[in-house]
Structure 1
């Protein structure tokens, strides 16, 4: 598990072992013919099947490694001023944001999502699904492994071209936060919480990166990689929305309620900023720790963080609403308390 074994409650292969907590609570599975696969054209359209390797080339005049308007740190006046005062440092800010995005993608896909997908593919996760849906999980596994690969590959190319180091935490902050949350989770809910986190991560939507696909001021290899990822993830979103219906129908009402109360925390674990890492990065540019804390506080005030979570989780919340998860007043109040309604 590469330093995050504790994330999965001490089991070195949790997604391969039976989820007994779920097996004991199952209702009747959905009928086979209810599943319409989002992967019908996968062999002809999946990135891993048809896309060429995205190779980074020297930048043309005016090009960068990411769109500055999509880099929160670059929007702060003290950092934005570096564009004229210390252009090499400003470039490092943009490059390190790209590293953060690629590292987040690679570790989420490899260390979290694919562990659950593996269990679905092998039928050992404790949730009964149609055979066609189980087979599609193998396709998702291939997709996610390739997303991790091309993210790591591009990061290596960027390091070679720029000689800028990444300087990121070995374990991403969202994994650290999830691990802490799981430590507080009753043992019988831990496997289910892991599954719910994957559903959340695969159904969150941000429209911001779509603007980057056609931005001529961004390195072609970067925007093509972002586009490749997004095209595959559209199918994954559809799949996990269907998977949620299968999962929810196989839980007892009591377990549904207990699980639903945990979902807002899972969303915020995923969307809230990595404050310690960002502060450390800022001090690396010559700012004091007090200045770094002020910059972060001004960039990420609580209302803005909550508004962002609500925006990207809107469709996720709708999926949980569609299965009745928010019908319980306490659950809806929990969602509201986290700024999600």
Structure 2
């Protein structure tokens, strides 16, 4: 059985009692007030320079009101993705960590830390839904969209279909370790533009108060699992990690949503699809993308990139890992 002393010896501090002590002191659900939007203040609800639709000449010609509408709907998608990632994926993976019959011993301290993560994630979903309701009350005519399946969720589903069922739970946990170690700093920078509404900048920064702590937990968890799982698990899962990363980092969900959003503005589906094809032309998931570098850095720190099956999986998608 893995003990607190084993965790401390291996340097995995976020799997031991210090993690819960930090959560008790700093967790948003413990220490933060309700997030409200001050509609008296001005600013966009989504960074204008992160929405490719605004580069479309037809959209630009429609003026400021349409720009604001597009950015509000873009923020809705961001909140929707938060809800789905944190409930359907992260909480699902944490539940498997707690209750599945895994090939790695999960000690009581690690389980306690996992419960705190689940509490955080449900709280984040609560905040996201609260913000959605505030926005819909203030902007009742925004309409509704069919939000596509996220790239992260699709990546997990597709790779699980290519793995034997006995590897599914461990793969899903490792996939979520990847998600939670990818975007912490970037999301703060993403929303830190001066033209973003102050209430939204505060919300994102406050969310990252928890996510920076989760980063440490999931990085240590990835190290812990990878070092202790049987070799056949490393072979089977490692051989699929390259294609998993490529699927996860694709922008298919964003493109599908932006087709709908542009169609709602222009009233022409074919025109919207042509515009999206043009706007995203040339994009490819390559290892030099900053987000790809984050994934590789986390994999490297956790020891995954040392395994031949993992390195081979990246060669199969055309990436040479140094």
Q: What range describes the TM-score normalised by the shorter chain of this pair?
A: 0.7 to 0.9
Identify the match of residue 55 of structure 1 among 16, 36, 40: 36
Give yes or no for the alignment of 1:142 onto 2:119. Answer: yes
Aligned to 1:331: 310
Identify the match of residue 129 of structure 2 among 135, 152, 155: 152
Give the distance between the partners of 1:206 and 1:295, measured in 2 at CA: 31
Q: State the superposition RMSD in angstroms.
A: 3.0
SS of equivalent to 1:31: helix
Runs (5+) with no aligned partner, structure 2:
none
Aligned to 1:230: 208
Aligned to 2:268: 288
Runs (5+) with no aligned partner, structure 1:
1-25
Give the distance between the partners of 1:219 and 1:308, measured in 2 at CA: 33
TM-aligned CA deviation for residue 324 of structure 1: 4.0
TM-aligned CA deviation for residue 243 of structure 1: 0.7
TM-aligned CA deviation for residue 137 of structure 1: 0.9
Give the distance between the partners of 1:56 and 1:280, measured in 2 at CA: 26
Give the distance between the partners of 1:340 and 1:203, measured in 2 at CA: 21
TM-score, with structure 1 as normaliser: 0.80
SS of equivalent to 1:272: coil
Q: What is the total number of aligned residue pairs between the two structures?
A: 311
Structure 1 residues 45-85: Cα deviation after superposition (integer angstroms, max 9, x where no partner): 11111111111122435x22122012233344443x14xx3
Residues 313-324 of structure 1 aligned to structure 2 (within 5 Å):
313-324=292-303
Give the distance between the partners of 1:40 and 1:123, measured in 2 at CA: 26
Q: Which of structure 1's runs of 4+ aligned residues deviate more than 6 A?
A: 26-30
Aligned to 2:236: 258
Residues 117-132 of structure 1 aligned to structure 2 (within 5 Å):
117-121=94-98, 125-132=102-109
Note closer, same or farther for the CA distance 1:308–1:257 as it changes in structure 2 (3 Å cut): closer
Residues 177-256 of structure 1 aligned to structure 2 (within 5 Å):
177-205=155-183, 207-211=185-189, 214-256=192-234
Give the distance between the partners of 1:233 and 1:103, measured in 2 at CA: 17
Moved more, 304-313 or 87-96: 304-313
TM-score, with structure 2 as normaliser: 0.84
Q: Is the 8 A contact 2:96 2:169 kept in 1?
A: no
